[in-house]
Structure 1
Amino acid sequence: MSSIPNPVIQPGSWILVTGVNGFIGSHIADQLLLAGYKVRGTVRNASKNAWMAEFFESKYGKDVFELIEVGDMSQEGSLDAAMKGVEGVAHVASVLSQDPNPHNVIPPTIAFAVNALKAAAAEPSVKRFVLTSSSTATYAPGPNLGRTIDAKTWNEDSVKAAWAPAPYEPERTWVTYAASKTEGEQAVWKWVEENEPALVVNAVLPPVNFGPALDLARQGRQSTSYAITEALEGEFKIFGGFAPGFFVDVRDTARLHVLALLHPDVKNERIFGFAGSFNWDDVYAVLRQMFPERDFPEPDPNAPRDTNKILPAGRAEGLLREMGRPGWVGLEETVRASLEGVA
C-alpha cells in the first residue's frame, strides 16, 4: 500500500469498517492497517469472528484492530457507540440474504446506509464516510449492451423489476439485490443533499470481485471468488449465475475505499471500480494455463460480452496510479490469486 500525499486523515487514526468480516470489508481493513491506520470493525457476532483480531495482530501488532458487536443496523442509533472517536467510516455491511422479496431486502438496506451516515455525521471526529455500493446500482450486466455509463447512471430497470407485484420467485433474487444497492446509494446521496453534513461522502461501485480470501478456511465460500474454486473442481453450474460483465480484484476495491477515505481531492464522488470486462471463457483460459492436465469447457468464439463503456473507470484507475499502483490488477493475476491455498 503506497502512501497518499497529504491524507485528510492521518496515520494512526481510527477508521470504522462495518461488515468487516466479509470479503470486501476484511480487505479494506487489511489495506488500512497496511497504511498505518487503526481499524474498528463491526460484526453481528464478535466471538464467531474473534479470529480476525488474532489474524491482524499477528500481521500488524497489538492494539491496532478491534471488533465491536452491532446487532441490527436497521435500528437508528445502533452505530452510535461504534462511531466514537473514529475519523473515517467505510460502510460495507448490506443485506445479503438472497431473499427475492423486495420488502425484506430493500428497506433494511436503505436503513443500514442512512443510519450509518446519520451516526457518522453526528460524531464530530468523523471527516469521511464511504459507502460500498455496487456496479448493479448503475445497470444490470449482460451481453452486448453497448451503453455508455457515466456518474449519473442509475439502475432504474432493476428497481422497477424488483418492486413488480408478487409472487416473489427465486429468479427475482438478483434484481432485488440490485435494486437494494441502487436505492440504498440513492438514499445516501439524497440525505447528503438535504442535510449538507460537514463530512465528505464518497461511494465505491465495484462489479464482481475476485481475488484471495484473507483466511480461506473461514471466508472462502462467502466470496465471489468461490466460483473459480468450483470451476477448478469441475463444477461449472455456478457460472450460470454471472452474466457477462466487469470484474475487479478485491484488493483494488479495498484500495479505492482507502483512497475515498483519505485522498484530499476525492469529494462527493461515485468511484467506479471497473477493471475490465470478462466472460467465463476468459477465466477458463487462465485455468487451462495453470492446470493443463485438467478438463475445462471448450472455448466459445461467440461467447457474449458486456460491451458497455464505463466512462468513470479511468478516473478510478488514475487514482490507483496516484498511490503508486501500476493500474488495475489484471484478470489473470486475480484468477491466480483467487486460488491461493486451494490448488
Structure 2
Amino acid sequence: MTMKVCVTGANGFIASHIVKQLLDEGYIVNGCVRDATNEKKVNHLKEMEDGGTSTTTGRLTLFSTGNLGENINFESSSLFDDAIRDCDAIIHAATPVAFGLKDGKKSIYDPAMLSTKEILKSIERVASKTLKTFVLTSSMSAIAPKPEPKIKTEDCWSDEKLQIEGGRWYDATKTAQEKFVLEYIKEYTTKEGKAPFRFVAICPTLVLGPMLQQGSVNATMGYLQHMCRNGNGIDKETGKQKKARNDSMSFIDVRDTASHHVKALQDPNAEGRYMSVTATSLHWNDIFALLKELYPLMPDVPHCDDDILAEPTKFDHTRMNTLNVNCRNAKEMLRDAIEDLKSKGHL
C-alpha cells in the first residue's frame, strides 16, 4: 500500500521541495496550507508531477488550515483533522520565518507552539492507529549552546531562556518545539506503555537554493539577495561598506535538507535529531569573497582585519551522514541560489 504523508506549510520554501520529492517517489501527500484556494500560493504544488511536467498527479490533496496557532482552543480544534486522518507519517515543516519582527513571541513563538500542540491532538483523534512517524523541521539554532563547543554534535542543546532574553524568537521556537515533542512522547509512553510514533527532528542551518514557490522571495533567499545587492551594508558614520564580521556561517541547499527529511521518513531506524549542514562553515571573509566571485556586481566588502580571526564552526557529521544524502558544497549551493534569483528577475 502506498504511504500517505501529511506535510504542514506545504507551499513553503523547504516544504515545497519535500512535497516534490515525496511525489517523485510515489507517495500520497496531504499538504496543509493557509488557503488552498489561493492559486498564487499553491499553483506550483498543483503542477508537480514525476518528471516535472505541469499536470497534477492525483496523489496530492491540499487542505486549508488557516494561520498557524490561530485557534487557541487547540484541545478541540479540528483544523488539521482531515489532513492528518489515516496518515502514515507527518512532516511538520510549518513555522513562521521572518527577520526584524517587533513581536517575535506573538508572530513566531506562540503560533508555532500552539500549532504543534494542535497537530499532536489531531493525531490522537484521527491517526493514532496509523501514524508511525513524526518528522519535525527544527533548526541548527536549537544546537547552539553557549559557549560554543569545539565540535558541534546532535548532543548539543541551546538554552531557550537565553534565546528569549536575546530576542531570538525563531531560535527559541525551534529549541522549544523539539523539547515539547520529546516531553509529549515521554508522557504518552508513561501513560500508554508505548511511544506514540517514531520521532525525528531535522535541524537545518541557513537554507538557500532554488525556489519552487512563485512570486515573492522567501526570508532566507531574501537575505542572500540583500547581500548580493548591498554587500555587508553601509556604515552610517563613514558612509563606506562595513567590514566583514569576524564570525562564520554555515549553509545547506534546500534540496539537500528536503532529502534529509525524506530519508529520515524512509529509514525505520532513523530516530532523534539530525544536523542538516554542509561539510564546513566559512568565515565571513571567505563568504563575501565567494559571493563576489559568483556575483561580480556585489559591492566590494572589506575583509575583517582583526588580529585574531574567528575559527569557523566545526561539525561532527557522523550521525547526519547515516541518512545517506550527498550534500552540495557551499560554492555549489551559493551558485545555484544566485542563478535562481537571477533567472526569476530578483537580481
2:199 matched residue in structure 1: 201
Q: 2:88·2:130 contact (CA, 8 Å) conserved in 1? A: yes
Q: d(CA) in 1 for partners of 2:122 and 2:299?
A: 52
Q: 2:276·2:320 contact (CA, 8 Å) conserved in 1? A: yes
**What's the C-alpha RMSD, in Å, of the aligned pairs?**
3.0
Q: Deviations 1:134-156 (Å, cap 9, x if unpaired)? A: 11112169xx9444433332211
Q: Deviations 1:313-338 (Å, cap 9, x if unpaired)? A: 32212322xxxx4x321001100111
Tell me: CA distance 1:241–1:53, structure 2 relative to 1, closer, same or farther (3 Å). farther
* TM-score, length of structure 2 as denominator length: 0.79
Q: d(CA) in 1 for partners of 2:310 and 2:121?
A: 40
Candidates 56, 61, 71, aligned match of 2:48: 56
Unaligned runs of 5+ in 1: 1-9, 165-171
Q: d(CA) in 1 for partners of 2:170 and 2:151?
A: 22
* TM-score, length of structure 1 as denominator length: 0.79
Cα deviation, residue 293, structure 1: 6.5
Q: Helix, strand or coil: the match of 1:218? A: coil
2:140 matched residue in structure 1: 135
Q: d(CA) in 2 for partners of 1:113 and 1:259?
A: 22
Larger Rg: 2
Q: 1:203·1:270 contact (CA, 8 Å) conserved in 2? A: yes
Candidates 256, 260, 265, aligned match of 2:264: 260
Q: Does 1:71 align with 2:66?
A: yes
Cα deviation, residue 200, structure 1: 0.9
Tell me: CA distance 1:37–1:146, structure 2 relative to 1, closer, same or farther (3 Å). same
Q: d(CA) in 1 for partners of 2:84 and 2:246?
A: 36
Between the aligned residues of both structures, percent identity stands at 25
Which structure's relative contact order is higher, taking Cα pairs within 8 Å and 6+ residues apart?
1
Unaligned runs of 5+ in 2: 190-194, 235-241, 343-347
Tell me: CA distance 1:22–1:304, structure 2 relative to 1, closer, same or farther (3 Å). farther
1:155 matched residue in structure 2: 158
Q: Does 1:277 align with 2:281?
A: yes
Q: Helix, strand or coil: the match of 2:48? A: helix
Q: 2:202·2:273 contact (CA, 8 Å) conserved in 1? A: yes
Please say which of residues 76-85 and 56-65 is displaced more in the overlay. Answer: 56-65
Q: d(CA) in 2 for partners of 1:340 and 1:223?
A: 17
Q: 1:159·1:178 contact (CA, 8 Å) conserved in 2? A: no
Q: d(CA) in 2 for partners of 1:242 and 1:47?
A: 46
Q: d(CA) in 2 for partners of 1:195 and 1:183?
A: 18
Instruction: Letter of the 1:183 partner, please give it.
Output: A
Kindly report which structure 2 residues correspond to 1:31-42, keeping only aligned pairs within 5 A, or say none: 31-42=21-32
Cα deviation, residue 301, structure 1: 6.0
2:34 matched residue in structure 1: 44
1:120 matched residue in structure 2: 123
Q: Deviations 1:276-335 (Å, cap 9, x if unpaired)? A: 312443333333333457643244465954644433x32212322xxxx4x321001100
Cα deviation, residue 199, structure 1: 1.9
Kindly report which structure 2 residues correspond to 1:1-343, keeping only aligned pairs within 5 A, or say none: 12-48=2-38, 49-57=41-49, 58-59=53-54, 61-74=56-69, 75=71, 76=74, 77-96=78-97, 98-102=101-105, 105-122=108-125, 123=127, 124-139=129-144, 145-156=148-159, 158-162=160-164, 164=165, 172-173=166-167, 175-196=168-189, 197-215=195-213, 217-219=214-216, 221-237=217-233, 244-267=248-271, 269-275=272-278, 276-292=280-296, 295-300=299-304, 304-305=309-310, 307-311=312-316, 313-320=317-324, 325=325, 327-343=326-342
Q: 2:211·2:340 contact (CA, 8 Å) conserved in 1? A: no
Q: Structure 1 runs of 4+ off > 6 angstroms?
A: 238-243
Q: d(CA) in 2 for partners of 1:37 and 1:283?
A: 38
